[in-house]
Structure 1
Amino acid sequence: MKIISIINQKGGVGKTTTVINLAAGLSQLNKKILVIDLDPQGNATTGLGLSNTDDSETTIYGVLNGSKKISETIKKTNFENLDLISSNVDLSGLEVETAGDEKRAFILKDKLLKYIDENSTKYDYVLIDCPPSLSLLTVMALVSSQSLLVPLQTEFFALEGLTQLMKTIERVRVNLNTKLNIQGILLTMYDKRNKLSSEVEKEAREFFKEKVYKTVIPRNVRLSEAPSHGVPVLVYDKNCPGSKSYFSFTDEFINQEFNMESVA
């Protein structure tokens, strides 16, 4: 079971869209997926057709405050091979509530390890949707993960924000999780009519080399519409440019995993 956080401290970069559609793409390839919605806004929850107003004890908040086990909060979605631990706004209070706990950065990791110990490996991938901030919740995700996937919008200031994120990742790697690595950077919201998009792509590929996925996610109205219907765009309109890009990205992701396993 591989735990991957999808992270960018900036909002509106296609982070949750990437979580939902990578999860859907992998599940359609018969991979068993658990999505953990670690964002108090609960967008991954509603984007997969569940409610973000459920009783807090049955969400990731119930896990992190110690009242529930992970196994007690996993919910089925309408999609085969794809389960979810939902979120709601109460999660935003966790940082204050755990202020006196010196080990609070490890709460999620400890819960996940306990779940793995008590259950046969049920999932191929756990995908964590991080909040759009470098907060305690994000640090919890970084500590728990083996690798990170960073959606990067091809817009002005995108690379500046990434520099701050890289510093945080490095601090966590040195002090809290030496196994953490960046699996890849996914360029999102690409507009081929806009010269800036191609300039950001060029800079990203020059700086991060092979870490940047070949697949680029375009700006696409269907990508924006799908979450309001509670389905991934791969289900909402599988023939639109956004869907085709996420299908391509899923294939690239799987091939990357296969190559990593071959090297190991």
Structure 2
Amino acid sequence: MTSVQGTAVDIPTEDGVADAYLARPGDGTPRPGVLLYQDAFGLRPHLRAMADRLAEAGYTVLVPNVFYRHGRAPVVELPEFIDPAARPEIFETLYPIMLSLTSELTVRDAGAYLRWMEQSELVADGPVALTGYCMGARLALWTAGGHPDRVAAVGGFHGGHLATDAPDSPHRSAEHITAEVYLGHADNDSALPPEQMQRLEEALTTAGVRHTCEVYEGAQHGYTQADTAAYDEQGAERHWAALLDLLKRTFG
């Protein structure tokens, strides 16, 4: 098993400084880069563990606190186990912060994250991969559309609101995406009803994007997040297999 080193890093952006976590194999060799986009609960021990697992597989992984405009992570105090039904005030606090992160700000911030990775001696030359969870899947599609020359692959898992009527809905980025896209949708997800799944599929197909969209039957919105009540072990392991396959196809 590859030894992993994890460090806190600060990334200058056009609007301030984003705190982030960097995980990479311990030998210091430049590795293909992966930008990991958080769910609503943000940068915390579980996401660091996910980054470490990707680093063990041979990648340099950056996990930015995308809510940095509202403070360093954790932006809100979180329990070790997150059950939104038991602690509704957590999501009530986070929801307006989520809404404030527009597509325009996301693409601008992504430019800073991608520049930082491009300049890092720990990231191999060439485009990077993205993986995003819940709201992070939305950020990943916006980023891939906004920086097509820098993104070679996109994984998105239990994403919500990916094909809405909004002018900046993520599915509208498809015409600009050059990366391969894999999306693992949660089953019976109120944030991504069947009509949005179909609209997203049609947008990717029409744009000629290499893509796979799969519904994980029985898995709830949030199924990859082991520190939450939505966690589904079978769905999470299926996600790891799909993501690592995507990265292997992309980087060899």
Fold-level match, TM-score > 0.5? no
For the aligned pair, the TM-score class normalised by the smaller chain equals: 0.3 to 0.5
Q: As a proportion of its length, which structure holds more helix?
A: 1
User: Scaled by the length of structure 1, what TM-score is found?
Assistant: 0.42
User: Scaled by the length of structure 2, what TM-score is found?
Assistant: 0.44
Bigger relative contact order, structure 1 or 2, given CA contacts below 8 A and separation 6+? 1
The structure with the largest alpha-carbon Rg is 1
